[in-house]
Amino acid sequence: MTTATYPPNLSQSELRSHQAPFVNEPFLDFTDAPTKRAMQEALAAVKSSLGREYDLVIGGKRIKTDAKIVSIDPARPAEVVGIHQRADERHVELAMAAAQTAFASWSRTPAADRAALLSRAAGIVRQRKFELCAWLTYEVGKNWAEADADVGETIDFLEFYAREALRLDAAATPIQLPGERNQLRYIPLGVGAVIPPWNFPLAIMAGMTSAAIVCGNTVILKPSGDAPTIAAVFFSILEEAGLPDGVVNFCPGAGARFGSAIVAHPETRFIAFTGSKAVGLKIHESAAKTQPGQKFIKRTVLEMGGKNSIIVEPDCDLNAAVEGVVASAFGFNGQKCSACSRAIVATEIYDKFCERLVARVTHIEVGDPAKNFYTGPVINRAAYKEILNYIEIGRKEGRVIAFGKAPKNNPDYGYYIAPTVIADVAPTARIAQEEIFGPVLAVIKSTSFDDALAIANNTEYGLTGALYSTSRAKLDRARLEFHVGNLYFNRKCTGAMVGAHPFGGFNMSGTDSKAGGPDYLLLFTQAKSIAEKLGDYR
């Protein structure tokens, strides 16, 4: 357990690391024999740790509850990954009091020291990369490359936000008035709720948490019930890095009983959430209601998913387009808010595209992510049933051209659903409008580029999109008319990189938070202008 002391001043090495330009963490090469062996060893080591019990941690105190959250391996539902305490209404005031107590000192800790904490955490994550990849494989079913991307993005968020905090701390007013000293200070908001998703249970959870605390806020962290173990491991890394008690309070709990109560609490200053549109809107509505004793307008930072399209034009590199659509639609089984769920293909190349798409999809291997199959299970039984239901809807709304057989397609074995492609789908069909969040792709025919853009913009979402074309005129039109927060040309619509692709969407995709960009930390601060008349002061 950590003590209530705060991190020391930055060491010279930490100062140098923050002064160095930010560089994205390189991806691992699992075709390299020593790298492959290291991953296999990590999987074996983590497997021996599965099933242990984790406590709530509130103000540094370990707490057990009668009710538990049991996390399972979606590839083997009988295997328990972790057993967690279930926070409820009784823990709301405890967590808030601990966070408020820590805020009094943490908010006044120098930005350089807060940044140093993130830098140390990044170093620990880097050292334990293979172990964290293994946890992601067991708890949410990521193959090795998807797990590595999640861990790499975690490191990127920690390193990037550490540097951004120092940049924000050095902010200055555009001018200095004669006879005055003018300052602009970005100060923390207060206590915030961080509610991350299960699909990027390390990167998004760590990114929202680290952005909040590096700005001087304190956090009540309620991880996803499908991925609390990964959050617990990351919390232990923060403690190892020197996290003071109460700065982050680790509180797995039921959304209705604990999460909703934290969101509604009059002392909760902000809520950072990534998840479904339905839950995000409920959070936004609850946050907008002023509670008795509340002295501020709550801030919401919301990312709520998408119904993303890739437009494929006749002048494109067709093979590249097929590869980009497949990677975007079926990477991590389509369980990404950025995933392509609609391919909008020009009439002239429609049949050829579908033919090549089916040929490519039928070569995708489905199996145990621990053995590094490209496609593993979906996250849980409820998702399994819902996705299969959408496939049945798709059979009525279009033509199923790919639906491969998954291994032992039995929910008692694992929640496997093979990549599924449904062609000849109308732009207004349910499977073309509703977020499925699984390995299901709708293929829609477009009669012109005008038609393709109209279809791409016809949903209530606006997160990611892509266009495959070699026409400069079409690319330039798409820059203006393709209404999404993250737009890509001649590449897949997933895989946003910290620093290069600030991430967040329009419309019902959320508040366009732009995680991993230069504006993100502003969401966790408030600007204070200070003007001092120059003179003799004693």
Residues annotated catalytic, as ranges = 303, 337
Q: Give the per-residue SS3 of 111-160.
A: HHHHHHHHHHHHHHHHHCHHHHHHHHHHHHCCCHHHHHHHHHHHHHHHHH
Q: Residue 356, SS3? A: helix
What backbone torsions phi and psi does residue 154 show, to the nearest 5 degrees?
-60, -50
**What letters, b where the CB count within 10 A reaches 16 and e where it falls short, cover 284-298?**
bebbeeeeeeeeeeb
Nearest CA among 296, 247, 252 for reference residue 270: 296
Q: Which two tokens stand for residue 326?
A: 């497949």
Q: Which two tokens stand for residue 444?
A: 């829609």
Pairing of strands 191-195, 218-221: parallel
Residue 318 CA to residue 329 CA, distance in Å, equals 16
Instruction: Please answer whether residues 308 and 461 qualify as being in contact, where contact means their C-beta atoms are separated by less than 8 angstroms.
Output: yes
Nearest CA among 45, 83, 36, 49 for reference residue 64: 83
H or E stretch including 43? helix 33-47
Instruction: Please answer whether residues 83 and 266 qualify as being in contact, where contact means their C-beta atoms are separated by less than 8 angstroms.
Output: no
Cβ-proximal residues to 519 (8 Å cutoff; 6+ apart), any chain? 502
